[in-house]
């Protein structure tokens, strides 16, 4: 027997299997997925590698085959099934096998297990708040930092407090003596003392919840596996449904993975799982040290836990008896990896589940177009939770037409409607959130008189203004001169949208001098946990108004917020991306969900120059299905996913000229491949090369070629063809090529 090994060097030329002889003492011990040390290359340098299989036949001269040196110490082998998943990911998303293997690796670097200490708050909230203001008044800022952080989360990892909050051990000991906190020697999430299993529920499931649970469990029991989409507004009881499904799967002796976006992995969510499943649950998040993560993966591998909760990477938990993968908030952008292989957790979960005989449950209040499309076409099973579990009114939404404001002579960034509601809330001492969705904002040009936005005539996405003074399409490369008057109505009020969060903060201080304002954006959250500190301050009532980018609309509950203002819905609506409408609908829905979380009903004002746009109309009515219908029409008309499939080929290079030449050849080759496909009866459309939004990064120039086809398999085939072409042509050596599917 010979071991098939992938060498731990990322290079297209080395992206193949190398065979090694297995020494006597390793026979029977060596397994697929293990990390080994091998002599490699002419110099026989000791190199790391991964065993991905065994073969009886030697494909080379047996005399020349080298022997494995040793099995690496202290590592968690990759589950054999995950090696197969890595192969699928390489095949599907491109890149090398070693990149794919490293993605599914339970933990990238091993570290010794060490004792973990944590810090627990001993005071109740009122006492803690008193202490906090006391420390602040005495300028004891280190102590204030600790108390503020503990108010946010009553148990904190010791290392987090000493390193991130920069509080010395002496101060912590002093605070322990003052009985403010207690230093405990245990892993924070591993065995939280309060996490007693308390299974009794104080409520009955709603009819919709029962139906969803019944459908899933009944099919699961009969051995039927598949993908389900739980579509239900926030608060409709999705999490309760997930937990019931997990319970059922565990009862059948299986294990479950729950993916939750990092930002929503709050203490409260995690505690709900602990209360239900006790210490058979573990969590992976970015707050855990490498050692702690290693520890959790080891427990998973040994079968000590049944449920793993975590962000995207938890998908690769080395469970042996995987029965269910849940993806909450499946529409979130963070489920897509930005590194090669650029995998999407949703598709990869479905692939893993198929390999291991598991089911997948997706959940969202605003499902991705991809997921809802598959639910509508029957590929996924749709489970609806149409109502909130606990009666609570939906917020009332008003759309403010900013074109009318201009007509009235109001040139301010606040519409009259928003301004008067803000005054009202300030008077009542209720809180306000103002939201500027700058995500994906790429300098589109619009008319303030009629709302017209300058778009690409070929792609129906907004043109972006470039430094060269031209308007450019990032999909097809189309260019036109800058406009000085509106092509639609002739008004001279055309231009880019320049307001940023900082300007809004300044404006607020001028117009509402009595209000206390907090700002949350990239600048104010640079330091680690900066954004949690701002949210904690806002939540404890330290400010009346929170201004921020999309960061503020995710997942946080503030009982006293009764007004949410979306200052310019157009910003994300006219991002230069075919998903702009979808993102806008999701953001507006999430923003609306922030208003009136407590007893009081909430109000939302959406300011826009395009009140008739379907994303805004549907968001104002909080009608996802209407949005879906309209958006699907647009996607089908323009050939965007999910109506069609889209592959981006991103080419980067340090030399601009070389990049142009390479793109030229790559495109020419792609064209011949497309012709082949056409002769075989499937049409492929080739677009570009165009400059992506970020055309140059760290002195590397980037261009992108798009391939559109109705069949994903065709695009995967084209990717393989291009990869081979790149590999055999030395001209591509100094280029970096990435593939991005949909
Ligand atoms: P989602 O995940 O859809 O936002 P959750 O499962 O978190 O919804 O439920 C929202 C709140 O309603 C939680 O406090 C939960 O305990 C409660 N809840 C869920 N189902 C019911 C029910 N059938 N009856 C009463 N309360 C419920
Ligand atoms: Zn106009
Ligand atoms: Zn275009």
Q: Which residues neighbour 723 within 8 Å (Cβ) at sequence distance 6 or greater?
A: 12, 94, 739
Cα torsion 143, 146, 147, 148: sign: positive
Answer yes or no: are the C-beta atoms of 322 and 358 closer than 8 Å.
yes
CA 333, CA 636: separation in Å to the nearest integer?
Answer: 22
- Please name which ligand lies nearest the alpha carbon of 232: 1
DSSP code string of 418-462: HHHHHHHHHHHT-EEEEE---TT---B-EETTT--B-B-TTT-SB
204 labelled ligand-binding: no
Answer yes or no: are the C-beta atoms of 589 and 365 closer than 8 Å.
yes
- Among protein residues, the one with the nearest Cα to ligand 1's atom 23 is 205
Indicate if ligand 1 lies below 6 Å from the C-beta of 332: no
Prediction pTM value: 0.79
Neighbours of 572 (CB within 10 A): 27
CA 7, CA 406: separation in Å to the nearest integer?
Answer: 64
Q: Domain 207-385 belongs to what architecture?
A: 3-Layer(aba) Sandwich (3.40)
Beta-bridged to residue 157, according to DSSP, are 118
Percent of the chain surpassing pLDDT 90: 40
If residue 76 lies in a helix (H) or strand (E), which one and from where to where?
none
Please determine whether the domains at 2-104 and 396-443+497-636 fall in the same fold group of CATH.
no
pLDDT value, residue 194: 42
CA 703, CA 667: separation in Å to the nearest integer?
Answer: 11
Per-residue pLDDT tens digits for 654-703: 888 888 888 888 899 988 888 888 888 888 888 888 776 556 666 778 88
> 534-559 in b/e burial notation, b at 16+ Cβ within 10 A?
bbbbbbeeebbbbbbbbbbbbbbebe
> Measuring CA to CA, how many Å separate 371 from each of 331, 366, 641?
8, 10, 11
489 labelled ligand-binding: yes
Please give the CATH topology (third level) of the domain spanning 2-104. Answer: GIY-YIG endonuclease (3.40.1440)
- Please name which ligand lies nearest the alpha carbon of 476: 3
Lowest model confidence (mean pLDDT) among 341-355, 438-452, 556-570: 438-452
Indicate if ligand 1 lies below 6 Å from the C-beta of 614: no
DSSP code string of 612-672: TSHHHHHHHHT-HHHHHHHHHHHHHHHT-TTTSEEEEEEEEES-HHHHHHHHHHHHHHHHH
If residue 519 lies in a helix (H) or strand (E), which one and from where to where?
strand 517-520
Answer yes or no: are the C-beta atoms of 684 and 711 closer than 8 Å.
no
Lowest model confidence (mean pLDDT) among 36-45, 119-128, 279-288: 279-288
**Mean per-residue pLDDT for 137-149?**
92
pLDDT value, residue 191: 38
Q: Residue 130 — very low, low, confident or very high, per pLDDT cuts 50/70/90?
A: very high
Q: Is 599 exposed, middle or buried (0-12, 13-18, 19+ CB in 10 A)?
A: exposed
ipTM for the complex shown: 0.95
Residue pointed to by tokens 């470039």? 466
CA 249, CA 277: separation in Å to the nearest integer?
Answer: 12
* Strand, coil or helix: 175: helix
Examine the pLDDT at 331 and tell me if it is beyond 70: yes
Mean pLDDT of the chain: 86
Indicate if ligand 1 lies below 6 Å from the C-beta of 206: yes
pLDDT value, residue 113: 45
Indicate if ligand 1 lies below 6 Å from the C-beta of 557: no
Lowest model confidence (mean pLDDT) among 7-11, 389-393, 410-414, 533-537: 389-393
238 alpha carbon to ligand 1 midpoint, in Å?
A: 7
Residue with the larger pLDDT of the pair 390 and 3: 3
Output phi, psi for 708, to 5 deg.
-120, 135
Answer yes or no: are the C-beta atoms of 487 and 507 closer than 8 Å.
no
What is the chain's length? 742
Beta-bridged to residue 649, according to DSSP, are 705, 739
Structure tokens at 421: 């509601």
CA 243, CA 276: separation in Å to the nearest integer?
Answer: 8
476 labelled ligand-binding: yes
Residue pointed to by tokens 């909130």? 388
Please tell me the CATH superfamily of domain 645-741, with its number: Ribosomal protein S10 (3.30.70.600)
CA 257, CA 352: separation in Å to the nearest integer?
Answer: 11
**Ligand 1 nearest atom to the CA of residue 209, by list position:** 23
Domain boundaries, the chain: 2-104, 115-187, 207-385, 396-443+497-636, 645-741
DSSP code string of 551-580: GGGSS---TTEEEEEES-THHHHTSSSTTH
Neighbours of ion ligand 2 (CB under 5 A): 447, 449-450, 452, 486, 488-489, 491
Cα 164 from chain centre: 24
Beta-bridged to residue 561, according to DSSP, are 431
Beta-bridged to residue 21, according to DSSP, are 2, 67
Per-residue pLDDT tens digits for 195-220: 556 656 678 899 999 999 999 999 99
Beta-bridged to residue 7, according to DSSP, are 49
673 labelled ligand-binding: no
Q: Which CATH number fits domain 396-443+497-636: 3.40.50.300, 2.40.320.10, 3.30.70.270, 2.60.40.10?
A: 3.40.50.300
Answer yes or no: are the C-beta atoms of 324 and 361 closer than 8 Å.
yes
Q: Residue 555 — very low, low, confident or very high, per pLDDT cuts 50/70/90?
A: low
CA 364, CA 375: separation in Å to the nearest integer?
Answer: 13
Per-residue pLDDT tens digits for 19-71: 999 999 888 889 999 999 999 988 889 999 999 999 988 888 878 889 999 99
642 alpha carbon to ligand 3 midpoint, in Å?
A: 19
Q: Residue 190 — very low, low, confident or very high, per pLDDT cuts 50/70/90?
A: very low
pLDDT value, residue 606: 94
pLDDT value, residue 501: 77
pLDDT value, residue 742: 75
- Among protein residues, the one with the nearest Cα to ligand 1's atom 15 is 237
Q: Residue 111 — very low, low, confident or very high, per pLDDT cuts 50/70/90?
A: very low
447 labelled ligand-binding: yes
Indicate if ligand 1 lies below 6 Å from the C-beta of 276: no
């Amino acid at each position: 027997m010979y071991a098939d090994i992938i060498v731990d060097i990322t290079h297209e030329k080395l992206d193949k299997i190398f065979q090694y002889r297995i020494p006597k003492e390793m026979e029977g011990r060596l397994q697929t997925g293990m990390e080994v040390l091998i002599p490699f290359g002419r110099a026989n340098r000791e190199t790391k590698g991964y065993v991905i299989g065994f073969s009886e036949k030697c494909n080379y001269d047996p005399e020349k085959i080298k022997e494995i040196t040793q099995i690496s110490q202290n590592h968690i082998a990759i589950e054999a099934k995950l090696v197969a998943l890595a192969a699928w990911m390489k095949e599907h998303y491109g890149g090398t096998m070693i990149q794919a293997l490293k993605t599914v690796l339970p933990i990238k670097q091993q570290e010794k297990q060490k004792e973990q200490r944590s810090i627990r708050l001993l005071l109740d909230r009122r006492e803690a708040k008193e202490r906090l203001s006391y420390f602040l008044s005495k300028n004891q800022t280190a102590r204030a930092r600790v108390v503020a952080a503990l108010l946010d989360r009553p148990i904190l990892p010791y290392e987090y407090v000493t390193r991130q909050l920069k509080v010395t051990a002496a101060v912590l000991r002093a605070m322990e003596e003052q009985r403010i906190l207690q230093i405990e020697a245990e892993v924070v999430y591993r065995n939280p003392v309060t996490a007693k299993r308390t299974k009794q529920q104080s409520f009955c499931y709603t009819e919709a919840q029962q139906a969803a649970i019944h459908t899933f469990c009944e099919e699961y029991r009969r051995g039927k596996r598949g993908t389900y989409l739980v579509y239900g507004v926030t608060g409709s009881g999705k999490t309760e449904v997930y937990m019931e499904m997990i319970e059922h799967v565990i009862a059948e002796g299986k294990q479950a993975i729950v993916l939750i976006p990092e930002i929503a992995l709050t203490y409260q969510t995690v505690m709900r799982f602990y209360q239900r499943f006790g210490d058979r649950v573990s969590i992976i998040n970015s707050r855990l040290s490498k050692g702690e993560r290693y520890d959790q993966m080891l427990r998973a591998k040994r079968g000590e836990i049944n449920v793993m909760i975590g962000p995207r990477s938890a998908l690769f938990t080395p469970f042996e008896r995987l029965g269910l993968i849940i993806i909450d908030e499946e529409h979130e952008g963070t489920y897509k990896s930005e590194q090669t292989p650029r995998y999407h957790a949703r598709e990869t979960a479905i692939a893993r589940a198929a390999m291991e005989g598991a089911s997948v449950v997706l959940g969202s209040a605003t499902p991705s177009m991809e997921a809802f499309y598959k639910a509508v076409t029957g590929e996924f099973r749709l489970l609806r939770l149409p109502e909130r579990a606990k009666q609570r009114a939906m917020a009332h939404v008003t759309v403010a037409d900013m074109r009318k404001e201009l007509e009235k002579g109001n040139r301010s960034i606040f519409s009259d409607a928003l301004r008067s509601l803000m005054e009202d809330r300030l008077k009542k001492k209720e809180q306000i959130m103002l939201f500027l969705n700058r995500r994906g904002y790429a300098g589109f040009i619009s008319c303030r008189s009629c709302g017209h936005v300058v778009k690409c005539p070929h792609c129906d996405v907004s043109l972006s203004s470039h430094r060269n003074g031209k308007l450019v399409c990032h999909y097809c490369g189309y260019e036109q001169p800058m406009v000085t008057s509106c092509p639609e109505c002739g008004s001279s009020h055309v231009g880019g949208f320049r307001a940023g969060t900082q300007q809004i903060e300044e404006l607020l201080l001028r117009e509402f001098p009595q209000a206390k304002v907090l700002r949350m954006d990239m600048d104010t959250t640079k330091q680690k946990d900066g954004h949690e500190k701002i949210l904690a301050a806002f939540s404890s009532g330290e400010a009346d108004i929170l201004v921020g980018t999309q960061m503020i609309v995710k997942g946080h509950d503030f009982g006293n917020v009764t007004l949410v203002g979306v200052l310019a819905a157009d910003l994300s609506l006219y991002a230069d991306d075919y998903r702009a409408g979808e993102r806008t609908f999701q953001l507006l829905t999430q923003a609306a969900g922030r208003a009136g979380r407590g007893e009081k009903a909430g109000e939302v004002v959406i300011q826009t120059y395009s009140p008739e746009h379907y994303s805004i109309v549907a968001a104002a009515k909080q009608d996802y299905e209407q949005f879906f219908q309209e958006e699907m029409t647009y996607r089908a008309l323009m050939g965007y996913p999910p109506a069609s499939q889209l592959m981006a080929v991103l080419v980067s290079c340090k030399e601009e000229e070389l990049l142009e030449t390479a793109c030229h050849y790559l495109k020419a080759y792609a064209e011949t491949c497309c012709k082949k496909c056409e002769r075989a009866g499937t049409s492929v459309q080739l677009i570009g090369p165009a400059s992506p939004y970020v055309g140059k990064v760290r002195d590397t120039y980037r261009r992108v070629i798009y391939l559109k086809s109705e069949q994903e398999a065709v695009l995967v085939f084209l990717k393989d063809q291009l990869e081979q072409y790149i590999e055999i042509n030395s001209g591509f050596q100094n280029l970096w090529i990435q593939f991005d599917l949909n």
